[in-house]
Structure 1
């Protein structure tokens, strides 16, 4: 991975393509660190050191530590939506009552459960990552987040065309709410994990995908019933 070693090099990045190249170095470094430790443990000081810059120089390209992780979230979100679109394009809803709804829920739950980084960032978005960003960046990120949510709603509605725009948007929003609620429980402390074992319960991380699938299935079946759909 290319690393810029001096602040002088960054000061010379005046053309748009140079600025974007510098931003990508910072993002690539942050992504690599996320494979080693959770978001909460990564400080701007440590990230800057890995890149080879003073914190003030990193902040020329991103207005805060939190903005860096929100950028990674946006990119990961878009990539996941591409996977959802591909999987939903594969043939065949499962048999049984509300088969089409169950299949959509299974695809969304299964693909997002594979994206552990996205799940972690979703769980931190409202409570941590959005609390230290500028107004200008907040406008940019929330517009992109809205577009991503609208894309998910459109993918769901293409499979379940009886849903209204409002219902599909509600479901797309609920995907994030359910993920944000479930994900923190997947990494319990050793003390809590000891109690879970004593009680003979499964590790929360092992049942995350199933619980998410159940929650999203219930959401879609509920919307189907409200729309007057019958099992079949």
Structure 2
């Protein structure tokens, strides 16, 4: 039933946009290794190199698996969101942890950004909150720099699904359950606007795990970095 709600929500959003701009491009995302013997790509789509198809309307923004519908725009903004999420993981002795779809909102108050998401398809059956401080600075006419620092709040359902080990999965690891967790996340981004139709963006993020997550037998490191590169061209 919740999948139907997601589809209905998406169709409804598409019907409200009057001015459309379609964008094609390519995305490459590389994560540092932090899991114990992960047999699959941990990214929500399971791919590091992804062809990107995006859509920019008057209020609707679609960027890959992320949908954003803007209700209030400006330095103070509010939007509804749908996004793919999850830390995919699989070993021979554990059931696969899959990605999910979060639905929620994004609130921006000048330099403060608050993003809330709740599992719509009953994968991890919980919610997440991201709170960060960041701003986009114009360095040159076509060059922008975006630093941010923040906290990622994961409730106990999320933590136990992606990092816990049930009593029936103890062939290799000891059972593990945990409460909610708060990770530290630092990001920098550089965007070069080549023309009115083409741009390049390079991002780097560094995440430091809460001890609750690092203590999981499935986690090999207490932090990891991620690099992403996006090329886009509008039509």
Q: Report the TM-score when normalising by structure 2.
A: 0.30
Specify which structure has the bigger relative contact order, considering alpha-carbon pairs within 8 angstroms and separated by 6 or more residues.
1
More strand by percentage? 2
More helix by percentage? 1
